[in-house]
Structure 1
Amino acid sequence: MVADKSSSPSANEVIAQLVAHRRAFKAFLASRVGNEADAEDLLQNGLVKALSRADEIKDGEKAVAWFYQLLRNAIIDHVRSRHAAATRDDRWAAETAILADDVEVDRQICACVERLLPALKPIHADLIRRVELQGESVAQAAGALGMTPNNASVTLHRAREELRRKFVRFCGDCRCLNVCDCA
């Protein structure tokens, strides 16, 4: 049976009910996500969502149950997000370890970069050569090139972007660097 509009609780009444159960909600979340900080974040985000949708609740007695369901969904999203991030980090670490040990890949990448440097602006090529290929710090390269470290950092960022665009144009969009066939 649908409650008529006159018996519907106001948004303020719904929020007051939810705030009254705040400790129980946080304990519920903390027991499922494993730490207080994540539980607090999920609770705050849930309360914001509840505030924006509080006028949709027709029966004030069901507000707490509705909010628990909202929190369950938030937990599922949180766990999925954490799992995806962990998987992505694990894959990155494995690929980095493989690439770090592969001297041939490093040599091939450096050769590709060296071939592309003349196509960059001279200052960009100098910064890439010094920082990325020769291992100088940004501050050292800045001093050698008569720049401030801050300006060198910004210019290096732009140089990397320019190099990336040239690399993609020259070698293709090879995200796995060890398949570059531009030699």
Structure 2
Amino acid sequence: MVEGNTFECVLRAWDAHERELLAFLILRAPDRHAAEDLLQEVFLKAMRQGKGFCLLGNQKAWLFEVARNALIDAARLAKPHAELSGELTETLAAPPASERGPVDELDVCVERNLPALDAEDRHIIEVCDLQGQTVRAYAEANQLTLAAAKSRLLRARKRLRHSLVVNCQVRFDDTGQVCCHTPRPPA
């Protein structure tokens, strides 16, 4: 579980550099909405680093490097791609279960714990995290400010995370990454 100090460490760095990161992304992204979406990705990556982020010597440099990489990835995805043949697509479709990482194997636990959240938490996680809607679009659709929507999503993710730790015995390594879990059978 991410300790309070780790969470606060990431938030302090985020508060100190969020505006600069957004300005950096706005200058390079196709539009402001794309820049804001990329900014959210950078924030999520910082949160996933957990203790590892707090131990970095230059958190600002790390954030800007992740932002630059996010821009590059977005540009690559925007390029047109040729369709793969059916046989090759089937071969590449999904890795064998034995090659799935610990985080990927949490899907069953998430499916079991998501319905246990209150309706508001469940809705924002389903819409933003599972269906891929931007936080900005969620905020507009639900008559919320962007800040309120971001805060709501962050709190919902925290509650889901706590539920996964308790119900699936999720454990984290020294860098804050999911290392393993032991799902409890459904009650």
Q: TM-score, normalised by structure 2?
A: 0.39
Between Structure 1 and Structure 2, whose CA radius of gyration is higher? 1
More helix per residue: 1 or 2? 1
Taking CA–CA contacts closer than 8 Å with sequence separation of 6 or more, which of the two structures ends up with the larger relative contact order?
2
